[in-house]
Structure 1
């Protein structure tokens, strides 16, 4: 399927260039293409063609011999952002002009999803600057080197020259980013003090690292060697140019942000929630709606979180008591006693970290071979486990997933954080692997990319409650299927679910109930028993990504509720494989649409 997508992209692009005046050309240039699918795919392609970095990440043009975009970086200016909002309104107007009666069932669904996204974008444009573009978790200061290391492919000297060009252009992009950050300052949207301190530490560390040890230099050197198409003499010459460009362009770009944030420190405070920003409470409610795809209030989410925390802690304590742990002193003490056992950890060394990666791969290979009873639909793309780049792992989450390249040149990747060896107890590894990899994010995201006939925008729909809800549901599913029959592995699963329940409490606590960063850290540490380094990184994540963390548990509970609904309605006719087909075969969707799919599945099955 991936090859078919690449071929389709290529045919579309080449037909536009070569067959001027043809039907394909009309569909590309007309204000309103005849085919609805042509319109929505065209708009996604046009946006992609304006983003060189997106084109590099998708990786489909290279197979057509087109590589010029790999020498450029995205336009991050305010003018470009303004242009996007104008464009989205134009797309919305055209979308509404398509008569529902003329559309197929599939196109009607695509129209409904597109309208959901476009209407929400229009409604929340007033909050477009309610964020912190440079923070300890993400932003150009970490995204740029990560992009260059993970996405920019090196197969020949031309690819290296494109890489060198991107090193030269970075100061322009940093200047553009700074324009938007300064506008936020004018609007009273200033990051909390700890965010500024973290990014200054990160950026100063980046520029103070010897260039020969900088990831932009070392990854280029490795890629040239691995390619086998760049001679040693060429490598020496090109690395010298890279060193010069890092010194001349990259370091000064970082210094722009370092100087700005150093000055901004005096204006920052230790109030961390969105409530403190102009119209911040409304912005938080909008963020909750976007991430959960529900109208749940902050108070409702907070209350649900408190109830789930109590339930899950009780289950964990029951298992610990059965394993002869002293639970009389309370949850925190019991879980800390478990976490203190050295037998649950790997050696704190390079060899120990390498073994963690190998064991993660074994876990994933095992479950991948044992899911036939639960799935018919499965991704064709492979998956690998890699370490989060060391330069950013200190402030990164415990793990994350990166989707495969659309042309099949890069598999899906499960990035594991190995900074703190104590943050990776053996009993938590299965759950994390199932969430980030199989059958979690890799199954759902890679399957969506490979679905036949799905419009391009639906392959990458940003419905976090569905995406993260599926991944958390996958942890539960793996336990149900017997892949976590060791009681300690089950504790690891319950701790992961507890972690997501606590998120409901602390996210709303910070942004709605005006908790401080320290209060949130205390609550999460007290109620999860997680490593302190993980707790701090997570709470700081919620501060810069309001509401995102609530989507996991909300989505999981909805999928489980829908499954139970189907089981009760269908009885002996219920087939888990059918249920999973329905959940996965339409890509990511808002939760109300997912419920509609399940209702139809129930009705259709009963009618047979």
Structure 2
């Protein structure tokens, strides 16, 4: 018996040594298989991002080591991550791509493109504005706590409090990066500084128990059954949140408020990327990065002008049918948009009715897509209002993906700051874009993919993601979901906005247009409310190139669909085409074209 246990112990030690050696090899050296390398790359970034792990919920509760932490936002950590990207790209190139099968080569090419474009952009590492009116810790961290951090147990609640008490650390790290940018004369535009200060002043003006961080926590806590958490513990946890808001959250905001206050006199310009050091090269890079093409800023501008002219003709025809024949497109659309029959009351009841109508639109289209899609997501989607504290500068709508474990659905957030900004004829295209069959279908289908490296389920390529969502607006119209001419006008108005983006984004950052010039052009051509247009233009100024992705991506999908129709004739199946676009995850447009070309060849 002693001999048996002796050999058993040796066997166990051998297994431990072998497993340990395998892990050391995979972690510190070039993994034997490229799939192991893919897993390592994803694990490196995921395990280093507590916020990503909380959002995805891909680890079992027993492995929850992260829910009391935030991502490291320090300058040193950013440099470490950049070097990791460079090292990973160099190692990926050491694998022999020719030995991979077709799907394996696609995975290789997706990751290679993603890493390469980041390496290329490292020269512009500090050119962004990490705190601006659209996004930044002043809104995103609270959104993360209220929308992503779950509170289903006492442990979750304690982690929530622990994270609140880490607000000062996170804010200090971000301020460090802001000071570095300031030292390089990369200072946010004047309107950004003013609007961020307004956001933070409004957030901290509320008593702690009226703060969204407290209110949402209490709502989550109330859902825990009484037999799993007694009243004394509930009261103690609520007191802990109250104390953390007063002693950690508000002082962290005060520090960022003080920084932006002293920055205010230095922020005198509202110009584009061209004013930054080597700004023209930076914008050219942003065009390539966001469109995943080799288009130049000039090509983008000319494409925008031609698309604006085409869509103007289609909108003009509908407007004339409504008895509106004279003047630019924008003022005529605005006349319709102000018709009381097209507006929900700007009251609590009106906003609730508007949200209900959005949900009805999604339910209708979801039930009517049977002949158009084979692959559909299992995860559901619901409509919610944009959190009140973020409404003033948030976009008109946006989508937030659900969790990988299926416990949190996808959410289409609609901005309820003023119902007069969104006439009823504009609601359908918005719902199709953010919800079904737009972002919700594409992002959820990608999350649910099997048999591919995990990074293929999560990597974002803006031109593909936003191009699909804009294509979805048109698809819904083609399928007959917008029979009312005004609904189609709403679709065209939104497509016009994306075409105008090509003109004004390149105008601001490449042709030196002023903020006011861009606002005027967009008002004249879209018919959007002035408040919406102003928010849009200010968004483009702080995030160069991002707005180009929508139209470029949509046009590529339409081009590929038409190509497939022409070459396949009677063999063309719209369901199979959509499957091919969706089932590979997000792709750079050049790789999407390869996928569709391969599919066409196979069908032939």
* Superposition TM-score tier, normalisation by shorter sequence: over 0.9
Per mean C-alpha deviation after superposition, the further-off stretch among 306-315 and 20-29 is 20-29
For residues 265-305 of structure 1, the C-alpha deviation after alignment (integer angstroms, 9 at most, x for no partner) is: 11112232011111111111101100001111111111111
Structure 2 distance, partners of 1:334, 1:35, is 61
Structure 1 distance, partners of 2:28, 2:141, is 36
Matches within 5 A, 1:286-305: 286-305=285-304
Structure 2 distance, partners of 1:304, 1:93, is 36
SS in 2 for 1:65: helix
Structure 1 distance, partners of 2:65, 2:221, is 19
Per mean C-alpha deviation after superposition, the further-off stretch among 282-291 and 308-317 is 308-317
- Deviation at 1:554? 0.5
SS in 2 for 1:235: helix
1:97 aligns with 2:94: yes
Structure 2 distance, partners of 1:377, 1:141, is 38
The aligned residue for residue 74 of structure 2 is: 77
SS in 2 for 1:386: strand
The aligned residue for residue 369 of structure 2 is: 371
Matches within 5 A, 1:21-40: 21=19, 25=23, 28-40=26-38
For residues 547-575 of structure 1, the C-alpha deviation after alignment (integer angstroms, 9 at most, x for no partner) is: 10010001101111111111111111111
1:231 aligns with 2:230: yes
SS in 2 for 1:409: coil
- Deviation at 1:26? 5.9
SS in 1 for 2:197: helix
Conserved 8 A contact 2:191-2:270: no
The aligned residue for residue 319 of structure 1 is: 318
Residue among 39, 42, 50 paired with 1:41: 39
Structure 1 distance, partners of 2:97, 2:153, is 49
- Deviation at 1:308? 1.2
The aligned residue for residue 137 of structure 1 is: 134
The aligned residue for residue 240 of structure 2 is: 241
SS in 1 for 2:389: coil
Matches within 5 A, 1:112-191: 112-191=109-188
Cα 1:30–1:193 change in 2 (3 A) is: closer
Conserved 8 A contact 2:300-2:502: yes
Residue among 409, 412, 419 paired with 2:410: 412
Q: 5+ unaligned residues in a row in structure 1: which ranges?
A: 1-16
The aligned residue for residue 14 of structure 1 is: none
Structure 1 distance, partners of 2:575, 2:478, is 14
Structure 2 distance, partners of 1:333, 1:138, is 31
**TM-score normalized with structure 2 length:** 0.95
Residue among 492, 495, 498 paired with 1:494: 492
Structure 2 distance, partners of 1:237, 1:427, is 49
Conserved 8 A contact 2:189-2:268: yes
Matches within 5 A, 1:496-515: 496-515=494-513
CA RMSD of aligned residues (A): 1.6
Structure 1 distance, partners of 2:22, 2:148, is 31
- Deviation at 1:93? 2.1
Structure 1 distance, partners of 2:315, 2:599, is 35
The aligned residue for residue 13 of structure 1 is: none
Structure 2 distance, partners of 1:231, 1:18, is 44
- Deviation at 1:176? 0.7
Residue among 590, 593, 597 paired with 1:599: 597
Conserved 8 A contact 2:338-2:420: no
- Deviation at 1:233? 2.7
The aligned residue for residue 398 of structure 1 is: 396
The aligned residue for residue 12 of structure 1 is: none
The aligned residue for residue 218 of structure 1 is: 215
SS in 2 for 1:453: coil
1:329 aligns with 2:327: yes
For residues 400-421 of structure 1, the C-alpha deviation after alignment (integer angstroms, 9 at most, x for no partner) is: 1111101111011111101011
SS in 2 for 1:391: helix
Conserved 8 A contact 1:470-1:559: yes
For residues 326-363 of structure 1, the C-alpha deviation after alignment (integer angstroms, 9 at most, x for no partner) is: 21233233212211210011121111111111111111
- Deviation at 1:24? 6.6
Residue among 203, 207, 210 paired with 2:204: 207
SS in 2 for 1:395: coil
The aligned residue for residue 473 of structure 2 is: 475
Aligned length: 588
Matches within 5 A, 1:458-469: 458-469=456-467
- Deviation at 1:66? 2.8
The aligned residue for residue 11 of structure 2 is: none
Q: 5+ unaligned residues in a row in structure 2: which ranges?
A: 1-14
Structure 2 distance, partners of 1:578, 1:540, is 40
For residues 506-557 of structure 1, the C-alpha deviation after alignment (integer angstroms, 9 at most, x for no partner) is: 1111111111111111111111111111111111111111010010001101
SS in 2 for 1:71: coil
SS in 2 for 1:439: coil
Conserved 8 A contact 1:298-1:512: yes
**TM-score normalized with structure 1 length:** 0.94
- Deviation at 1:235? 2.1
The aligned residue for residue 583 of structure 2 is: 585
- Deviation at 1:30? 4.9
Conserved 8 A contact 2:300-2:506: yes
The aligned residue for residue 542 of structure 1 is: 540
Conserved 8 A contact 2:433-2:472: yes
Structure 2 distance, partners of 1:19, 1:234, is 46
Structure 1 distance, partners of 2:148, 2:87, is 31
Structure 2 distance, partners of 1:105, 1:68, is 38
SS in 2 for 1:394: coil
Structure 1 distance, partners of 2:150, 2:559, is 43
For residues 337-396 of structure 1, the C-alpha deviation after alignment (integer angstroms, 9 at most, x for no partner) is: 211210011121111111111111111111111111111111111111111100001100
Per mean C-alpha deviation after superposition, the further-off stretch among 580-589 and 234-243 is 234-243
The aligned residue for residue 196 of structure 1 is: 193
SS in 2 for 1:223: helix
